[in-house]
Amino acid sequence: MKPPSIDHDLALLKKEPQIAYFSMEIGFDSRIPTYSGGLGVLAGDTLRACADLEVPIVGVTLLNKKGYFRQGIDSDGNQRELPADWNATEFMQLKGVQVSVFIEGREVWIRAWEYFIVGVTGYQVPLYFLDTHLSSNSPEDQEITSHLYGGDSCYRLTQEVVLGIGGVRLLRALGYLQIRKFHMNEGHAALLTLDLLAQEREHGTMESKLVEAVRRKCVFTTHTPIPAGHDRFPAQLACSVLKGNFSDQEILRICHDGELNMTHLALDHSEYVNGVAKKHGEVSRGMFPGFAIDSITNGVRSVFWASDPMKQVFDQYLSGWRNDPFLLRNALLIPLDEIQKAHQQTKKELIEYIKHNGGVGFKEDVFTIGFARRAATYKRGDLILREPAKLLEIIDKVGPLQLVYAGKAHPNDPSGKELLKRIIHVMRSIQEKIPSVYLANYDVSLAKVLTAGVDLWLNTPRRPQEASGTSGMKASLNGVPNFSVLDGWWIEGHIEGVTGWSIGPKPKMGVEEPSDDAKDAEDLYHKLRNIILPLFYNDPAGWDRVMHHAIAINGSFFNSHRMVYQYVLRAYFS
């Protein structure tokens, strides 16, 4: 059989990609709003770190032509979901190749937009955005790649057919024939395993060896310890949507308890599986007994997330850190006041942003607490606002405070929207004494300003629901200490009083203790009043030392370079 000719400039890539990375969302540029939060930003940081390290990888995602949504917040604290249309032609190039999949028996055509992620050495990682907006498709099918996490479960499954099955077919059609590992970033792309099985069969692999052959090629990263976060579809829906690609018999064979469970599908067909922090690995092994589940703790891409003033300081004292962020461990050699000066500059920028976009005047010398993440109830964004009287007492006794928040609620999450509204109402009631603002439309550019510009980064998830969390790593890198519940990555990054502070009890290995809101809030107020604020206001040098340690101990480790090295050694080229 003659191999398909290598499309175009694939030959120009320095090394032919051997890893294919699939993610429902990818976030690295606020002008390309095809992501909703942590999962997408992690995918963006992963591919960019691969580009920095010249790992031969290719990315696949959906175009999400109408984005996630742009968030507006009205005067009563109601979230408004505005369209986030964007124009692919400004950033990427349409490829001439098309492939098709069957959806409910209809043939649906898919095209792709090509984007090159350029690393610090100039190495390029190709990334394909799949798109069904073609006149050969029905108007309804043209919308499959329009809305990230929109619509009902049928729409979602349809998108997953395009991502998983369409994605592998597209890579083949483009001439990527050396892929040794298919990495599923979360279960959304797990249907790709069915196409790989069919391929193996076509190539004459014995029926009894098919699954093993596919397992050797697949890597799966699970991202949530919440059972509802794992995609599941009724077997009947799966049979009807997948009709034309696979027989009912084949689909029923992969169903668990009458459902197509994407996590199980990925687990069954992957040789290497991991959670995204040590604790999350442990929780996942409990959820899926019988599977070997490793953990690789997430990281963030240092050169992107360090603020410009901090980058200049690092350039001056830690030459080479940009593509070797482990050098950040030597941050202890940087004079204390240089870190503080760079931080003040970033804080000033944040204060400008707040004035311009939130209409609230913040002061440069006032202790500023930041909290920004998806407005999901398990993250308990309102924990610090549980007893406003306590906060007022703290500012009376110790020193002033400012609060800045951001984060979107999922359009179909009424309790998340309620939470957002409640936070805004409490903020308004304390506004006179504690300047507070909820900034609209949290995205990567706002995250950059916020994580670097505040004085303390707060996180209060209900345990053990924070798989990893990455915004706290962005803060650490910028010398901003974390104040957080011991869950996810913070269990690994926390040294009390050295890199930041914990909220609530220490986790016990193998024992799940549900979080107690009242006790956690009490601990939060106690530490704020007796340890954190006094340090900030009464011992500036002591505070600067914590900033130093956040960079040296956490910035040097919780970065995507370390994470990618681990994926390369344990999953990609093991």
Ligand X SMILES: *Cc1c(COP(=O)(O)O)cnc(C)c1O
From the list 129-137, 344-352, 425-433, 463-471, the region that binds ligand X by CB under 6 A is: 463-471
Other CB atoms within 10 A of residue 359 CB: 8
Q: Does the footprint of ligand X cover residue 409 (CB under 6 A)?
A: no
454 lies in the binding site for ligand X (CB under 6 A): no
Judged by CB under 6 A, the residue of 442, 501, 536, 558 near ligand X is 442
In whole angstroms, how close is the CB of 470 to ligand X at the nearest point? 4
CB closer to ligand X out of 334 and 447: 447
The dihedrals phi and psi of 494, each to the nearest 5 degrees, come to -85, 125
In the bound complex, what is the minimum distance in angstroms from residue 97's beta carbon to ligand X?
32
**Beta partners for residue 65, in sequence order:** none
Beta bridge mates, 101:
108
Q: At what angle do helices 308-317 and 336-358 cross, to 10 degrees?
A: 170
Question: In sequence order, what are the residues at sequence separation of 6 or more whose Cβ sits closer than 8 angstroms to the Cβ of residue 75?
Answer: none
Nearest distance, CB of residue 64 and ligand X, angstroms: 15
Binding part of the chain for ligand X, among 51-59, 389-397, 468-476, 561-569 by CB under 6 A, reads 468-476
95 lies in the site for ligand X, by CB under 6 A: no
Per rule CB under 6 A, is residue 439 in the interface with ligand X?
no
Binding of ligand X at residue 485 (CB under 6 A)?
no
- Give 37 or 481: the residue with its C-beta nearer to ligand X: 37
Residue 381 binds to ligand X (criterion: CB under 6 A): no
Nearer residue to ligand X within complex by CB, 38 or 275: 38
d(CA 153, CA 156): 5
Q: Is 100 left (phi over 0), alpha (psi -120 to 50) or beta?
A: beta
Q: Smaller CB distance to ligand X: residue 97 or 409?
A: 409
Q: What span, in angstroms and rounded, lies between the C-alpha atoms of 73 and 153?
A: 27
Sequence-distant (≥ 6) Cβ neighbours of residue 23 within 8 angstroms: 39, 40, 43, 59, 60, 61, 185, 186, 188, 189
Per CB under 6 A, the list member of 167, 469, 481, 504 interacting with ligand X is: 469
Torsion angle of the four alpha carbons 264, 265, 266, 267, in this order, in degrees rounded to the nearest 10: 40
Q: Which helix or strand (DSSP H or E) is residue 484 part of?
A: strand 482-485
Choice between 92 and 276, CB closer to ligand X: 276
Smallest gap from Cβ 489 to ligand X, in A, equals: 9
Q: Which is nearer to ligand X, 385 or 485 (CB)?
A: 485
Find the shortest distance in angstroms from Cβ 523 to ligand X.
20
103 Cβ partners below 8 Å, 6+ apart? 141, 144, 158, 161, 241, 244
| Span 26-45, contacts to ligand X by CB under 6 A | 37-38, 41
Question: Smallest distance from the beta carbon of 221 to ligand X, in angstroms?
Answer: 14
**Judged by CB, which is closer to ligand X: 13, or 226?**
226
CA distance 49 to 299: 10
Among 241, 444, 458, 535, binds ligand X (CB under 6 A): 444
Residue 101 touches ligand X, criterion: CB under 6 A? no
At closest approach, how far in Å is the CB of 282 from ligand X? 19
Which C-beta is closer to ligand X: that of 263 or that of 470?
470
Query: How big is the site for ligand X, counted in residues (CB under 6 A)?
Result: 13
DSSP string, 336-375: HHHHHHHHHHHHHHHHHHHHHHH-----TTSEEEEEES--
| 493 binds ligand X per the rule CB under 6 A | no
Residue 63 beta carbon to ligand X: minimum distance, rounded to whole angstroms: 19
Structure tokens given for 537:
């206001």
Instruction: Name the residue nearer to ligand X (CB basis): 17 or 40.
Output: 40
Q: Do residues 166 and 141 touch, judged by C-beta distance below 8 A? A: no
Question: Looking at 159-167, 198-206, 276-284, 437-445, which segment touches ligand X (CB under 6 A)?
Answer: 437-445
Is 447 a binder of ligand X (CB under 6 A)? yes
- From the list 23, 307, 460, 471, which residue makes contact with ligand X (rule: CB under 6 A)? 471
**Cβ–Cβ < 8 Å for 170, 99:** yes
Stretch that binds ligand X, among 59-67, 113-121, 264-272, 470-478 (CB under 6 A): 470-478
Cβ count within 10 A of residue 321: 23
Q: Is 373 in the site for ligand X (CB under 6 A)?
A: yes
Question: What token pair was written down for 463?
Answer: 């345990």
**Pairwise CA distance, residues 27 & 37, whole Å:** 8
- The single residue listed with the structure tokens 């994580």 is 451
Min dist. Cβ of residue 239 to ligand X (A): 35
- Contact between 470 and ligand X by CB under 6 A: the answer reads yes
Q: Which residues bind ligand X (CB under 6 A)?
A: 37-38, 41, 373, 442-444, 447, 469-472, 474
